[in-house]
Amino acid sequence: IVATATAYTGAPIDGAQVSYRVVRQVRFPAWQRWCVWPPMPPVQPQEIAHGSTTTGTDGSFQITFPTHPDPEIAPNNEPVFHFTVHADVTDLTGETRSAELGIQVGYTALQASMGANPWQEKDKPVTVTASTRSLDSQPLAAAGTIIIHRLQQPDRVHRGGLQRTRDGQP
């Protein structure tokens, strides 16, 4: 990562001390909450890099760190590794400014999502929306095919009986 330290006036801060740390956190796709049993246990954030550097005359500084996946998480779980870079810049007068940046890395290059109105009416057409984004939520163009299958309608709707509570209420 290449970043630039600037004063509130916008002027670059040269010769400033930069201390940084990088933390990796594992995130799983939202669909896993409903489709995977038992659910994935939470994974604690892990610091993967730390150090210090000095800004150049243009205020720029560089932070490098490995973006390796957590070896204990299987790729078929489709994890996304969120790296948070925390940087503290202390100028020659002793004033410190802090910032952080998040970067997401995963086994897939993009996220695809589809949606439709949750309430559908028989006599109105169904509108389906589809979108693709990078792991950092930036829109990405992608080509693909959407196939819709008609479900077989049952002859009648099967409903379970009402169960009563202890006070006799349904």
> Among 20, 16, 36, which Cα is nearest to 28's?
36
Residue identified by tokens 């730390």 is: 50
Q: Which residues contact 46 (CB under 8 A, 6 or more apart)?
A: 23, 24, 25, 70
pLDDT in tens, 38-97: 767 778 999 999 999 999 999 999 999 999 898 888 898 889 999 999 999 999 989 999
Would you say residue 28 has pLDDT above 90? no
Coil, strand or helix at 32:
helix
For residues 54 and 5, the answer to whether their CB atoms sit within 8 Å is no
Six-digit token string for 36? 């995977």
List, in sequence order, every residue forming a beta bridge with 147; answer none if it has no partner. Answer: none
Q: Give the pLDDT band of residue 168 (cuts 50, 70, 90).
A: low
Give CA–CA dist 28/119, Å, rounded. Answer: 28
pLDDT in tens, 113-166: 899 998 989 899 989 999 999 988 899 999 988 888 888 888 888 777 766 666
Give the global pTM: 0.74
Would you say residue 25 has pLDDT above 70? yes
- Indicate the residue type of 113: S
